[in-house]
Amino acid sequence: MNVKPEGTCQVTEGMLPGKCAAMAFPFIAMQSEHAERYDSNEALKNGTLFPGLHLPFHAEMQSRFPTVPAALAELMALDFAIDEMGLYLDTHPNDGEALELFNSYIKLAQEGRKKYESMYGSLAKRYVSEDGKYTWINDPWPWDLEGGNA
């Protein structure tokens, strides 16, 4: 590589200190159909629904998150699994087993959210109380409940 003045790299090059280098073109291999999956709680803990995508740096992140009430942790796990399954279905739309699991997670999350909010109040600003009032700013916050642990 030739040393070039700053800002003179080609369109297909990126800057390194004092020189230009070819841009990287990373790729991600698609998962196989019916890829092995963690259950929703294990997926949330590992940062992925798929064991093949479990990366070692997630262990450090796990140690930094405090425990949350069990009911809230379950909703977080379900929402995470829904997002992961949605990403998988983007590339595997004909995987009937995954679609069935995706739909079951959505149903469980809807039921769980309704139950949680009837006990503790709204989880997000987009939800209002049954009588139509804006209650988002009311205490206690969801993570203040159940003594901060489950």
DSSP 3-state assignment of 99? helix
Q: What is the Cα–Cα distance from 37 to 70, expressed in whole angstroms? A: 22
Res. 136: pLDDT tops 90: no
pLDDT, one tens digit per residue, over 89-102 is 998 899 999 999 99
Arithmetic mean of pLDDT over the chain: 76
Q: What is the Cα–Cα distance from 77 to 135, expressed in whole angstroms? A: 24
Residue with the bigger pLDDT between 5 and 43: it is: 43
Res. 25: pLDDT tops 50: yes
pLDDT band of residue 3 (cuts 50, 70, 90) is low
Q: What is the Cα–Cα distance from 49 to 77, expressed in whole angstroms? A: 10
Give the per-residue pLDDT at 61: 52
Give the per-residue pLDDT at 110: 92
Give the per-residue pLDDT at 31: 75
Task: Give burial (CB, 10 Å; 0-12/13-18/19+) of 88.
Answer: buried
pLDDT, one tens digit per residue, over 35-66 is 888 887 888 777 788 888 876 655 555 566 55
**What's this model's pTM, rounded to 2 decimal places?**
0.50
| Residue 30 backbone phi and psi in degrees, to 5 | -75, 145
Of the candidates 129, 127, 120, 128, the one whose C-alpha atom is nearest the C-alpha of residue 147 is 120
pLDDT band of residue 33 (cuts 50, 70, 90) is confident
Which stretch of 8-12, 77-81, 118-122 has the lowest confidence by average pLDDT?
118-122
DSSP class of residue 24?
A: P
Mean pLDDT computed over 116-123: 78
Given a contact cutoff of 8 angstroms between Cβ atoms, the answer to whether 121 and 115 are in contact is no
Mean pLDDT computed over 131-141: 71
Which residues have a Cβ under 8 Å from the Cβ of 124 and sit 6 or more positions away? 136
